[in-house]
Amino acid sequence: MVTDSSSDFAVETIALTKRFGDKAAVDDLSIRIPVGTTFGFVGPNGAGKTTTIKMLMGMLNKTAGRARVLGEDVTPRLEATKQSVGYVPELHFIYRWMRVSEVIGFCRSLYANWNDRFCDELLELFELDRTKKVRYLSKGMVAKLALLLAIAHEPELLILDEPTSGLDPIVREEFLDGVLRMICQRQQTVLFSSHTLSDVQRLADTVGIIYEGRLLDCCPTDELLTRTKRVRVVLKDEGSPGQPPEGTVWSRFEGREWLMTVRRFSPDTLEYLRSSYSLDNIEVIDLGLEDIFKDLVRGRRASP
């Protein structure tokens, strides 16, 4: 059972804030990622995902708040912590003039706990040619090489920032299979940022949704999917509805039809609607992560 001890969390931020001038790119962000779990970090472009990740990696200084990775404060970053983190950025900075074997040799020298056998397994799994120069690899192959370099030293924490961006469906599936294999075999902690919500739903134990630098929701994926519902109501008479049920994050009213998305949906939600309005029909609809994400963002945009 997870306790409040910092040692139980691979990543912990407390009121983490990053400002660029007057703009808050990350605003009062507090998240905890338990050791051995996968955290899906989602939000629109410019929401603050990459800025958060760069602060966790020590690539950007924070403006305020606190960030801890593997039990250590991010600033200053300790060399031992760097040895225990794997990182795959959206843009892969790999020397294009090197051969695959040379890139591996270069990175191998940086990590005391590099696992040659695991590296060989990944080369075979990803069908990477050791003799080929990086400049001649496809985008998908470069992504696979970046993942290999990030996990061949068996890090305690793997941070993936939009790792499948621009990949075709087959290559994306192969990439995710590599991540899943690593998670299942080694029980590492993963922070996974992606615009592909189906990938996040498939991989993540917990989802954090960020918008304009602020956290909209953060909870176990199963709980988010189970307790968030779309409710469709048809009123007997036309006219503007009154107060929506508690937990409504987005709603739309046209004619007599009232659509609403409700977080922490319960039977009380339906009881409230039936007792407050004259209804012709009421329907409860399950939602996937993508629809929940869209409605949370739509609701925030519509808020004063």
pLDDT at 92: 79
Residue 4 has pLDDT above 50, yes or no: no
Listed by start position, the domains of the chain span 6-221, 227-302
Query: What mean pLDDT value characterizes the chain?
Result: 88
Question: Identical fold at 6-221 and 227-302?
Answer: no
Q: How far is 2 from 171, CA to CA, in rounded Å?
A: 36
Residue 75 has pLDDT above 80, yes or no: no
pLDDT at 304: 58
In this structure, whether the domain defined by 227-302 belongs to CATH 3.30.70 is answered with: yes
Q: How far is 18 from 58, CA to CA, in rounded Å?
A: 13
Token reading at 39: 């955290």
| Alpha carbon distance, N-terminus to C-terminus of the chain | 40
The topology under which CATH files domain 6-221 is Rossmann fold (3.40.50)
**Residue range 158-186: mean pLDDT, rounded:** 78
pLDDT at 198: 86
Q: How far is 174 from 42, CA to CA, in rounded Å?
A: 21
Q: Which of 79-83, 117-121, 233-237, 245-249 has the lowest mean pLDDT?
A: 79-83
Q: How far is 201 from 195, CA to CA, in rounded Å?
A: 11
Residue 210 has pLDDT above 90, yes or no: yes
Residue 1 has pLDDT above 50, yes or no: no
Query: Read out DSSP for the chain?
Result: ---S-GGGEEEEEEEEEEEETTEEEEEEEEEEEETT-EEEEE-STTSSHHHHHHHHTTSS--SEEEEEETTEESSSPPHHHHTTEEEE-SS----TTSBHHHHHHHHHTT-TT--HHHHHHHHHHHT--TTSBGGGS-HHHHHHHHHHHHHTT--SEEEEESTTTT--HHHHHHHHHHHHHHHHHH--EEEEE-S-HHHHHHH-SEEEEEETTEEEEEEEHHHHHHSEEEEEEEESS-S---PPPTTEEEEEEETTEEEEEEET--HHHHHHHHHHS-EEEEEEEE--HHHHHHHHHHHHHH--
pLDDT tens digit sequence for 87-121: 988 877 888 999 999 999 999 999 988 999 989 98
pLDDT at 202: 85
